[in-house]
Amino acid sequence: ELTMHLGSEITDVGTTADDGNKSAFIKYEDSAGESQQWQGEYVLVATGRRNNIKQLGVENLGVELDDKNRPKDLSKKTGQIGDLNVYIVGDANANIPLLHVASVACYPCETATMPCCRSRTGLRYMDLRWRSVTPMPSKMTR
């Protein structure tokens, strides 16, 4: 079982030794403002990260960012930003920020942007190891 304490602020991390037994601890303030302490053999901490989408210049595409520099018009289902052919998937996606989800999350992008390629070549995203999704041309020829 994994218990997550979202919205907490870590105040101290360390180890203690009682009778020769060493243990780890985390002192934190929970989301209600109460001081808490966790103690155990090991500590696994996922403290979050900051995205770097702003430095990509997405404002030049008309993308509006929120106060945490995330696109305001981001589809949770596909990772698409508004009606642009721009997608944020895998570990870059704030809704499911897990790297191993990227291959599955890219599938809706491939379905939305490359139907012509699949129908002519039999190409499927899930068959590829890596794929870079780019805007689809406005007119496709058969």
pLDDT of res. 29: 95
- For 21-73, how does the pLDDT look when each residue is reduced to its tens digit (9 = 90+)? 899 999 999 999 999 999 988 877 666 666 777 788 888 999 998 888 888 89
Number of domains in the chain: 2
Domain that holds residue 74: 66-127
Tell me, yes or no, whether 34 and 70 share the same domain: no
Q: Is residue 136 part of a domain?
A: no
- Whether 123 shows a pLDDT value over 50: the answer reads no
Structure confidence at residue 80 (pLDDT): 86
pTM: 0.41
Residues 31-39: contacts with CB within 8 Å, 24+ apart? 31/5, 31/6, 31/7, 35/11, 36/5, 36/8
User: Domain check: are 35 and 76 in the same one?
Assistant: no
pLDDT at position 35 is 97
- Is residue 107 within 8 A of residue 126, CB to CB? The reply is yes
